[in-house]
Amino acid sequence: MKKWSGGLLIVVLAMILVFRYSSIVKIEPPTQAPKQSAAEFFGNHPTTNDSVIVDSEKKGEKPYKKSHFVEVDGLDDLFASHDIFKEGLRALLVWPHMRTLLSRSDALPETAKGVKEASVAWKDLLSAIDKDKASKLNKSDNEEDKNCPFSVSTFDKIESRYENILDIPCGLIDDSSISLVGIPNGHSRSFQIQLLGSQLLGESEPPIVLHYNVSLPGDNMTQEPFVVQNTWTHELGWGKEERCPSHRSPSNLKVDGLVLCNEQAVRSSSEESLNVSRPSRDMLTNVSGGAYEGSNFPFVEGNPFTATFWVGLEGFHLTVNGRHETSFACREKLEPWSVSKVRVAGGLDLLSALAKGLPVSEDHDLVVDVEHLRAPPTSKRRLLMLVGVFSTGNNFERRMALRRAWMQYKAVRSGDVAVRFFIGLHKNSQVNIELWREAEAYGDIQLMPFVDYYSLISLKTIAISIFGTKIHPAKYIMKTDDDAFVRIDEVISSLKGKPTKGLLYGLISFESSPDRDKGSKWFIDNREWPYAMYPPWAHGPGYIISRDIAKFIVRSHQEGDLKLFKLEDVAMGIWIQQFKNRGQEVNYVTDDRFYNAGCEANYILAHYQSPRLVLCLWEKLQKEHEAVCCE
Ligand SMILES: *[C@@H]1O[C@H](CO)[C@@H](O)[C@H](O)[C@H]1NC(C)=O
Ligand SMILES: *[C@@H]1O[C@H](CO)[C@@H](O)[C@H](O)[C@H]1NC(C)=O
Ligand SMILES: *[C@@H]1O[C@H](CO)[C@@H](O)[C@H](O)[C@H]1NC(C)=O
Ligand SMILES: *[C@@H]1O[C@H](CO)[C@@H](O)[C@H](O)[C@H]1NC(C)=O
Ligand SMILES: *[C@@H]1O[C@H](CO)[C@@H](O)[C@H](O)[C@H]1NC(C)=O
Ligand SMILES: *[C@@H]1O[C@H](CO)[C@@H](O)[C@H](O)[C@H]1NC(C)=O
């Protein structure tokens, strides 16, 4: 979510620039919407202008064709476990209200996959829970129990000396890294390093989250060495190859601020960069006399290298011998959390492999202050506010930090404000087991009936609306992320005196446009949004809506009356626009103390805060009674 909102901020900033610019030189804002797709989208009123949403609704027409329901593989299995529901399980409260959302004909594109995979994961989890219960009865043979470890380093040699596998037990998170020390051995001119996801029943091969294929210089040192990065999935096969060096004009695209390819790396001594001073590389001096002698290519036959893949917010990065070489933006559905193995194959002698910075789960039996961290019982009376925190299965540490920090505000401990984590199922069974234990220990987790793909997070937005209206009715509903620090007391006092109806409160973007750049991660095509502009929306790391809006969202979605849209925070803006179009009053209240891009003093909300920073902010508030940042 962080990724999305970070990117959205960039998009928005870019749009602001564009609009500034266009107002100076009097260029009309682009209206790229062909009439037909607009008509398709909102009934039969061709338009390129969003005021028509209002017009068509004033005439009493549905702006949007109702969806119908379709069969979804695995959905029945997922919802068949009645015993679990009967046990009144606290982690599944919204499930019964979400089923129709998942079988809509106009569901978000990855829904079918997310549900199918969740049904498999769920079945595994149920049998693991049963086993867990059995072994608890039988204290003796307990503690085979492996938690998720911080690092792993042994390679199980399998198949042949040309292929090595390292298991990543609980997926990767931000700042996880995998370091490989190896020597290209010349048995083959190329070697491959792959990050693999988990294989689903019926798939021939596991998905490849990142395929990294290194081609060394040709036999006579005449062929240029290169690296190819790509992805592979069972349903789509190979994706679009990214080659480095690309020999294209340098692209402005960056991942986490890093270039896609260090073009310097492959410049040979025969090329124009002759007079660019290069670090002298002693290691390379023994390459015999070819055109690539002295080249900066990081991999050379017979020379050991240390390659480190690390996970950023937006993608994977590779550093070889301390120098950044390549970056690769995560592709849809192929997110770092889903990585379960590293495979190394081809002409490489691997000396060692170490994955560290992995997600660590705590042993909750050993947590001394569990009582102070456990969600307080929700009383019968209406909550003042529900805070829905979007999180992902293996973000154990982030959740623990929030529990020890801003979830300790008096308003939360007293039960006036309830905080719940909304988490999709993970593809890795160990993560799901840890998640289940965590849910039982703290009672603040709501699992989602789908696997946690980014493209499905708008469903969580509906889930928090359901929770805050049907499960534990609340006056306000707040959405935030697990890397945000929320000053609950400030939010509450700021809400006093604000309208209680039709409220959207947060950092609001009033004038923004869809990203029409196909290469962009936030690309939205005309079918998804045909208009030049978005309605006002509040940035995802923290916004608050009033109960009437949440009720409208739940009801309209259940009736199939609202469009699903994959950018969660923009989706909320779109739904609120439609609420307004039905004649309801909407109050947009923007507040720039909701810092979308980090932390600033006197924040109400700070974003991109690591667990360490979250705890530090809390300590500062306790000791200095001041909202100051920690970096
Ligand atoms: C949208 O349409 C309304 C009336 O139909 C018009 O007043 C307004 O100028 C239009 N806006 C744009 C951006 O085209
Ligand atoms: C308990 O342990 C015994 C011996 O190890 C085993 O035979 C039995 O099946 C176990 N019971 C359960 C419920 O796991
Ligand atoms: C890696 O690249 C080499 C050279 O381009 C090619 O021959 C080989 O098939 C590739 N291997 C894989 C597994 O893609
Ligand atoms: C490499 O060298 C061999 C003989 O030394 C020659 O036959 C071959 O054509 C050369 N290949 C290239 C790509 O220059
Ligand atoms: C060498 O560097 C100079 C400036 O430092 C530049 O003008 C020239 O184009 C460079 N030559 C080559 C071959 O890159
Ligand atoms: C250079 O390579 C030769 C054979 O390829 C090897 O015998 C020698 O030890 C190498 N020298 C160094 C300094 O690595």
Give φ, ψ of 568 to 5 degrees: -55, -50
**Top mutation candidate among 268, 275, 277, 278 for ligand 5, by most atoms within 8 Å of CB:** 275
What's the 186 CA to ligand 4 centre distance in angstroms? 17
Q: Characterize the bridge pairing of strands 605-606 and 503-509.
A: unpaired
What integer pLDDT is reported at residue 11 of this predicted model? 56
Distance CA 614, CA 288 (A): 54
Q: What is the DSSP string of 530-562?
A: -SSSBPPEEEEEEEEEEHHHHHHHHHHHHTT-S
What integer pLDDT is reported at residue 128 of this predicted model? 84
- From the CA of 267, which ligand is nearest? 5
Of 487, 497, 489, the closest CA to residue 603 belongs to 487
Q: Is there an atom of ligand 4 within 6 Å of 218 CB?
A: yes
Peptide bond into 245 cis (omega under 30): yes
Residue nearest to atom 6 of ligand 5 (CA): 275
CB neighbours of residue 202 within 10 Å: 8
Give φ, ψ of 72 to 5 degrees: -125, 125
What integer pLDDT is reported at residue 82 of this predicted model? 56
What integer pLDDT is reported at residue 90 of this predicted model? 84
For residues 148 and 357, is the Cβ–Cβ distance under 8 A?
no
**Top mutation candidate among 27, 28, 49, 50 for ligand 1, by most atoms within 8 Å of CB:** 49
- For the chain, residues with pLDDT lower than 70 are 1-67, 81-88, 136-146, 155-162, 218-222, 248-251, 264-295, 379-380, 519
Of 461, 373, 374, 399, the closest CA to residue 173 belongs to 399
Same fold, 75-134+383-624 and 156-273+282-356: no
Q: What is the DSSP string of 195-218?
A: EE-PPPTT-SS--EEEEEEEEPPP
What's the 287 CA to ligand 6 centre distance in angstroms? 9
What's the 266 CA to ligand 5 centre distance in angstroms? 18
For residues 71 and 595, is the Cβ–Cβ distance under 8 A?
no
Which residue has tokens 């682009």?
Answer: 30
Distance CA 363, CA 284 (A): 48
Residue nearest to atom 8 of ligand 4 (CA): 220
Name the token pair of 160. 């042949």
What lines the ligand 1 site, CB under 6 Å?
A: 49, 51
What's the 50 CA to ligand 1 centre distance in angstroms? 8
Q: Is there an atom of ligand 2 within 6 Å of 368 CB?
A: no
Longest CA–CA separation in the chain, Å? 81
- From the CA of 139, which ligand is nearest? 2
Instruction: Give the ligand 2 atom nearest the CA of 137.
Output: 13
What integer pLDDT is reported at residue 25 of this predicted model? 35
Name the token pair of 75. 């959905």
For residues 438 and 467, is the Cβ–Cβ distance under 8 A?
no
Query: How far from the centroid of its chain's Cα atoms is residue 500's Cα?
Result: 31
Instruction: Give the ligand 2 atom nearest the CA of 138.
Output: 1
For residues 236 and 258, is the Cβ–Cβ distance under 8 A?
no
Characterize 293-323 residue by residue with b for buried, 16 or more Cβ atoms within 10 angstroms of its Cβ, and e for exposed. bebbbbbbeebebebbbbbbbbbbbbbbeee
Distance CA 207, CA 230 (A): 11
Coil, strand or helix at 336: helix
Dihedral, CA atoms, 197, 198, 201, 205, nearest 10 degrees? 50
Q: Is there an atom of ligand 4 within 6 Å of 291 CB?
A: no
What integer pLDDT is reported at residue 74 of this predicted model? 85
Domain 156-273+282-356 top-level CATH class: mainly beta
What integer pLDDT is reported at residue 71 of this predicted model? 84
CB neighbours of residue 203 within 10 Å: 13
What's the 285 CA to ligand 1 centre distance in angstroms? 68
What's the 146 CA to ligand 2 centre distance in angstroms? 19
What integer pLDDT is reported at residue 254 of this predicted model? 85
- From the CA of 282, which ligand is nearest? 6
What integer pLDDT is reported at residue 271 of this predicted model? 44
Distance CA 125, CA 303 (A): 46
Amino acid at 562: L
∠ Cα 322 323 325 (to 5°):
135
Under CATH, which architecture does the 75-134+383-624 domain have?
Answer: Alpha-Beta Complex (3.90)
Of 53, 311, 276, 52, the closest CA to residue 174 belongs to 311
Domain range list for the chain? 75-134+383-624, 156-273+282-356
- From the CA of 274, which ligand is nearest? 5
Q: Is there an atom of ligand 5 within 6 Å of 275 CB?
A: yes
- From the CA of 276, which ligand is nearest? 5
Instruction: Give the ligand 1 atom nearest the CA of 48.
Output: 14
CB neighbours of residue 96 within 10 Å: 12
Helix axes 568-581, 2-25, angle to 10 degrees: 60
